[in-house]
Amino acid sequence: MGYNVLPVGLLLVGAYLVWTLVLSRQVLKNGNGVSIATTQINFEDIGGQSVAKKELQEALDFLRYSDRMKALGIRPLKGILLSGPTGTGKTLLAKAAAKYTDSAFLSVSGSEFVEMYAGVGAERVRGLFRRAREMVRKEKKTSAIIFIDEMDILGAKRGSNVSHHEYDQTLNQLLVEMDGLKAEQGAHILVMAATNRLEALDDALLRPGRFDRQVKVDLPDKEGRVAILKIHTKNKPLAKEVNLEEIAHETFGFSGAHLESVTNEAAIFALREESNEINEHHLHEAVEKVMLGEKLDRKPSIEELRRVAIHESGHAMLAEKVRPNSVAQISIRSRGNALGYVRHYPKDDLYLYTQAMLEDQIMVALAGALAEEVILGTKSTGAMGDYEQALNLVEKLLLAGMSSLGVVDVSLLSAEQRQPVTSAILTGLEERTMEIIKENTKVLLRLAEILADEETLTGDTLRICIEDVA
């Protein structure tokens, strides 16, 4: 019709963007994403982190006894950084810190600060600290704790996000706010943050005067796992024969979150059986579910079932040969992505491995496929995961200088340099594994036969079978 609609369209788009920005700032004003709570969690309610709790309590005493610290001329702490794997209790420790110091508690995720609009993240940071001071006055307290979860999102190294500078502006504002924290302002504000990617944080955050203390919150050891299990079974009816130390022994590498899931799944299994108590087998099955996933209805053919039985029997038999009494259970019931599995007892909470230990683990990983080859004449694709595990263990040997290459920078080696060494290690261990399997073929066949009928064998039954046939 000869009418130019472009100016009207641009005006509408501009109005939409302005309205969206206004809404975003209104959300900021209303404090969306910030959780304010009166926490009732004490340090006694957190198990398995005795070292982290002690270190954190010592740091928090600067806040509790501020007058004494001031008399000694000690500068108050501004920030405490909790780092460690997921599920280890970092958020619980922050809540317990608020209870320990009788502080107002504000919790927010690092992702809440990042917006596509310039300046919104920085304004959110200013608003967060402003709100903390208001809470102190409103609740008539002397201090507040701001807890920022997923700190690696907000505090990533500047320049790492090349798309725009909003991340950097937000981080800069946090640094400015932390530099401006002074007890003389009428309210002592302590910033606590949690991350499982410490290496991703900007160096400016980690210098003294910002995050003055770094507390490592690691996976619990055996004693810690027992303490966590006791906490999570307080409200659950356990049978008298349940041995939590044995469950803790089986769950090496589990975090507190994993252990809570184990106790919860065990209670669900008891409910399914209409049992009034949680028995030991409920907890063992819960450990398997958390490790491997739920049982599947998938049923292999008879030929596949025999192959899986031979494969898992190979793993189990060799594990018992290189490390006696190490197998907890062997099963050919499908769970998760596995058609079968062998569950091992960890000998102890080990943090160092010798060359012999790593080689034994590689041999156990190779034994399934080699058992198939000896008994059935061919291997199968069921060994792909085993080979991946074996290659990862070989990589550890290279990194630790336990190969013919000696101590080298593995990252500088080409594929042509690495492959012959890797092949030589695997070939030598395959020969040793094949020799053990051929010497124990009768044991292997008997185990596979029983396993094909029973589907599941305990470690004790497995060892009795090996002794009887041998």
Which residues are identified as catalytic? 312
d(CA 65, CA 70): 9
Place of tokens 């261990």: 429
Contact (Cβ atoms closer than 8 angstroms) between residue 216 and residue 44: no
What pairing do the DSSP bridges indicate for beta strands 188-195 and 35-36?
A: unpaired
Contact (Cβ atoms closer than 8 angstroms) between residue 344 and residue 327: yes
CB under 8 Å, gap of 24 or more: what pairs does 156-163 form? 156/200, 156/201, 156/202, 157/200, 157/201, 157/202, 157/203, 158/202, 158/204, 160/200
| Residue 4 burial (CB count, 10 A) | 7
- 233-264 as b/e: b if 16+ CB within 10 A: beeeebeeebebeebbbbbbebbbebbbbbbe
CB under 8 Å, gap of 24 or more: what pairs does 320-323 form? 320/462, 320/463, 320/466, 321/436, 321/440, 322/360, 322/363, 322/364, 323/347, 323/360
Cα distances from 401 to residues 6, 157, 397, 406, 409, in angstroms, run 69, 32, 6, 5, 9
Using alpha carbons only, give the angle 190, 193, 199 rounded to the nearest 5 degrees. Answer: 135
- 38-58 as b/e: b if 16+ CB within 10 A: ebebebeebbbbeebbebbbe
Secondary structure element (H or E) that encloses residue 205, with its range: helix 203-206
Contact (Cβ atoms closer than 8 angstroms) between residue 316 and residue 327: yes
Cα distances from 78 to residues 67, 132, 179, 202, in angstroms, run 16, 14, 8, 17
Q: 206: helix, coil or strand?
A: helix
All residues at 6 or more sequence positions from 106 whose CB lies less than 8 Å from its CB, including other chains:
34, 35, 36, 128, 131, 132, 135, 144, 145, 146, 147
All residues at 6 or more sequence positions from 350 whose CB lies less than 8 Å from its CB, including other chains:
357
